[in-house]
Structure 1
Amino acid sequence: MPREQFQNLTEPMYYILISLLEEKCGVDIMVAVDEISKGRVKIGPGTLYALLGRFEKEEMIIETEVVGRKRSYIITEKGLETLNDEYDRLIRLVKDGEFFLGGNRNDI
């Protein structure tokens, strides 16, 4: 059975969708991802626009405005559901890790 395309999100996908909880254009998305991830995740224009195209095709985001070459987007209900599913999956992973590795890890 083939794996569903957005069953697990990559870090760039996850942070892009989080950034699109508010309407943003491409440059603002890149800045937001950098800020949200505290500089840990960087997204270049090629990766960003490829992912935006995939998200738009899957109706996870919609284009809200076009001004010249500047395009703005926002997350849809389907995108929000995908984002919440990924959040829940990540929480389960952390809880599983806590059980086996212990919850007293202050070195992260």
Structure 2
Amino acid sequence: MDSKLKRIYVPMTETGFYILFCLQKPQHGYGIGLQVKKMTDGEVSISAGTMYGTLSKMEKDGLIAFFAEKEKRKLYQITPLGREILDLEIQRIKRLYRNSMEEI
């Protein structure tokens, strides 16, 4: 993995994490937004500008790829590189959680 990409994406923003997490199955931007709202009980809402800007950047960086077009919407899916980045971020979050449970 390119160390520059690792520095850019880890740690990941909350919206970036949810977008990449949702793309473990093919999905379009609107669907991701609905899924994130459901997953977070409405606490996280991703604006269209953030959604499509992040999708564009992640596609350019090779973390996601165009999958298909359905009803005039572009579906994206995570790539092996994106999976590697997502796994690093999940490990980081687990470490934070584990450390937060320890007594000081």
* Higher RCO (CA < 8 A, seq sep 6+): 2
Greater share of helix: 2
What does 1:1-108 correspond to in 2, within 5 Å? Answer: 4-66=7-69, 69-100=72-103
TM-score, normalised with respect to structure 1: 0.83
Q: Which runs of 5+ in 1 are unaligned?
A: 102-108
Distance 2:82 2:62 in 1: 7
Q: How large is the RMSD of aligned CA atoms in angstroms?
A: 1.8
Distance 1:47 1:9 in 2: 14
Aligned in 2, Cα 1:100/1:20: closer, same or farther, shift over 3 Å? Answer: same
Give the secondary structure class of the aligned counterpart of 1:80. Answer: helix
Distance 1:34 1:5 in 2: 25
Give the secondary structure class of the aligned counterpart of 2:66. Answer: strand
TM-score, normalised with respect to structure 2: 0.86
State the percentage of identical aligned residues. 29
Give the secondary structure class of the aligned counterpart of 2:89. Answer: helix
